[in-house]
Amino acid sequence: MKIGIFTDAYHPVTSGVVTSIKMVEEEMKKRGHEVFIFAPSKHEPTENENLYMLKSMPLFVAKEYKNRVATFYSRTVAKEIKEIGLDIVHTQDEFSLGLFGKIIARKFGIPFIHTYHTMWEDYLHYIIPIKGTRNIYPKRFARVFSKNFARKAECIIAPSKKTEKYLKYRCKIKNKPIYIIPTGINIDPFNPKNFSENDKAELKKSLGINKDDKVILFIGRVAEEKSIHVILNNLSEVFNTVPNCKMLIVGDGPAKSSLEELAVKLNIKDKVIFAGKQVWEKIALYYSIGDVFVNASLTETQGLTFIEAMAAGVPIVAKYAPNLSEFIINNENGILVKYDNQISKAIINILSDYKLRQKLVSRAYVTATEHSSKEFGDKLEQVYMHVVENYKKDKEKRKGKKRLSITDALLKYI
């Protein structure tokens, strides 16, 4: 099968969407399929012969993520796609390359499916800085925009039940099948046994963390919607109860400067370390020094970092959200809190109670194996094959009806 992936986010951009796309690419290649990536142009050389880059320019919002927006159509690339003979088009977003994929599917009669990664109304503050009751109109537009894009797809893939419900009941998409396929991860690189005690000690030393210090860990985009400020507001009680403790924030983003100011205001500046953005190959090592992973975000469609933490043997504290409760069971494989002021107590319990920590870690690892890249690849391949097969059958039916209508018209004329 020849699979075309159309995306506005690709390497070197770091995000959950890019991680998901790389997973699709790797898993489908393992199964003998050909994968062709269509993405915005970038300045880095590439050895991937199946990567096609359309002319693009930097996106005027969230420039720090190096996002680019491409032209929504290219005659040259369209001709190459016709020669390739794609069996299926898989769009990953609703903008320039997503539109290009949608046009290509219609132009060449190729079935197309869409993965809905991002609930855009949670990210409108990057584009339209409107708050209060007036914000209802941009949110309504985001829902209509999402519906109009996805309604032409053969099916939609949602990474969680939360996303599925949003599409069905908020965007009013009820005439299309929606398959819930959580993005998997390759859990092997996150195994804590991959790193020696010396490796961990050296990393801690480089960050200014003492060897015996406990580490509260956050890994991800440092942005408003991640609610990192909620975590910082709860740390004074933790540091008073567990003095040999540090907060480590790995990642970068637009909220970094405001969070640094908040740490100063809360008088915890010396206890909070901003490690900045790190290369993917080192992320597993950062997980290995964590004693508890904390995330208070309510906007995750899935939250791959939670699965990574589970695979790395780091117990989790998170704010309750319907999608997280799909795989995090409170006091079984992680701790879910309903209110902000419960975060500090949850962190202290994990750092102080060895038995609780061991129980959470062992059961979380089982959950991580259930979200492996293999499981993800198997389910996605089944969807691809089902869509392609049904599309061919429907095409044959449409041809038959067309031939029949011409015959009927001729008989009527005679």
pLDDT tens across 331-390, in order? 999 999 999 999 999 999 999 999 999 999 999 999 998 888 888 999 999 999 999 999
DSSP β-ladder status, 112-115 and 88-91: parallel
Between CA 243 and CA 241 the distance in angstroms is 6
Find, among 51, 28, 26, 50, the residue nearest to 41 by Cα: 51
pLDDT tens across 286-343, in order? 999 999 999 999 877 667 899 999 999 999 999 998 888 889 999 999 999 999 999 9
Predicted confidence at residue 414, as pLDDT, reads 45
Whether residue 229 sits in one domain with residue 176 = no
Whether residue 245 sits in one domain with residue 347 = yes
Mean pLDDT of 263-284: 95
Predicted confidence at residue 66, as pLDDT, reads 55
The reply to whether 413 falls in a domain is no
Q: Give me the domain span that covers residue 54.
A: 2-184+372-404
Predicted confidence at residue 90, as pLDDT, reads 97
Whether residue 376 sits in one domain with residue 360 = no
Total domains in the chain come to: 2
Confidence of residue 61 (pLDDT cuts 50, 70, 90): low
Between CA 311 and CA 366 the distance in angstroms is 8
Whether residue 296 sits in one domain with residue 176 = no
Q: Which residue has the higher pLDDT, 187 or 215?
A: 215
Between CA 222 and CA 83 the distance in angstroms is 42
The reply to whether 152 falls in a domain is yes
Verify cis geometry, omega within 30 degrees of 0, for the bond prior to 315. Answer: no
The reply to whether 411 falls in a domain is no
Crossing angle between the packed helical segments 136-150 and 96-108, to the nearest 10 degrees: 30
Instruction: Pick the most confident of 60-64, 254-258, 371-375.
Output: 254-258
Confidence of residue 56 (pLDDT cuts 50, 70, 90): confident
Run of H or E including 280: helix 280-288
Is 90 exceeded by the pLDDT of residue 107?
yes
Instruction: Pick the most confident of 63-67, 94-98, 194-198, 223-227.
Output: 194-198
Find, among 179, 226, 89, 135, the residue nearest to 376 by Cα: 179
8 Å CB contact between 388 and 1:
yes
Instruction: Specify the length of the chain in residues.
Output: 414
The per-residue pLDDT of the chain, averaged, comes to 87
Whether residue 147 sits in one domain with residue 19 = yes
CATH of the domain at 165: 3.40.50.2000
pLDDT tens across 119-176, in order? 767 665 555 555 555 567 677 777 888 888 888 899 999 988 888 988 998 888 888 8
Whether residue 312 sits in one domain with residue 205 = yes
Please give the structure tokens belonging to residue 281.
């190959």
The reply to whether 409 falls in a domain is no
> Range with the lowest mean pLDDT among 62-66, 87-91, 196-200, 378-382?
62-66
Whether residue 234 sits in one domain with residue 112 = no
Confidence of residue 401 (pLDDT cuts 50, 70, 90): low
Compute φ and ψ for 372, nearest 5 degrees: -75, 165
Run of H or E including 384: helix 373-413
Which residues are within 8 A (CB) of 61 and not within 5 positions of it... i.e. 6 or more apart?
67, 126, 127
Please give the structure tokens belonging to residue 142.
């985001």
Whether residue 384 sits in one domain with residue 323 = no
Kindly state the DSSP code that residue 185 receives in the 8-state scheme: B
Predicted confidence at residue 252, as pLDDT, reads 93
8 Å CB contact between 179 and 383:
yes
The reply to whether 412 falls in a domain is no
Torsion of CA 247, 248, 253, 254, to 10 degrees: 20
Whether residue 132 sits in one domain with residue 252 = no
Predicted confidence at residue 323, as pLDDT, reads 81
Whether residue 166 sits in one domain with residue 301 = no
Q: Where are the beta strands (DSSP E) in 143-260?
A: 155-158, 178-180, 214-219, 245-250
Predicted confidence at residue 67, as pLDDT, reads 60
The reply to whether 410 falls in a domain is no
The reply to whether 414 falls in a domain is no
8 Å CB contact between 154 and 130:
no
Run of H or E including 114: strand 112-115
Whether residue 99 sits in one domain with residue 215 = no
Question: Residue 93 half-sphere exposure, CB side, CA atoms within 13 Å?
Answer: 22
pTM reported for the whole predicted model:
0.71
The reply to whether 27 falls in a domain is yes
Whether residue 99 sits in one domain with residue 68 = yes
